[in-house]
Amino acid sequence: MVNVLIDGENVRRSTWPNLPRDELVERVADWAARHGHDATVIWEGRESADDEIAARVRDLDPPVWVVTSDRELRRRVATHTERVIGGGSFLRELA
């Protein structure tokens, strides 16, 4: 099992038209079930999604993947992740 953290806004906006939030959550759940992964979509909240993802990767058991196209977030999580997947690439995989 892989722990997958997904930058929700970044991923849903990586295609036009933007994917609705609920549709992204449904597609992620289906994808995770098919692959046996534990996937969590992170949205902006009390703290930024980037900050929450950067904090969570440190607490998860490996392997950990992060899905984002944000270069700064990619840099922040690089030492704690096995793989970083771009938002557009991930959306194509969900289709």
Convert the chain into a string of H (helix), E (strand) and C (coil).
Answer: CCEEEEEHHHHHCCCCCCCCHHHHHHHHHHHHHHHCCEEEEECCCCCCHHHHHHHHHHHCCCCEEEECCCHHHHHHHHHHCCEEECHHHHHHHHC
On the question of pLDDT at 43 being above 90, the answer is yes
Query: For the chain, which residues make up each domain, given as ranges?
Result: 3-94
Per-residue model confidence (pLDDT) at position 58: 95
Closest to 5 in 3D by CA, of 89, 90, 91, 67: 67
Which pTM value belongs to this model? 0.96
Determine the average pLDDT of the residues in 4-9. Answer: 98
Top CATH class of 3-94 equals alpha beta
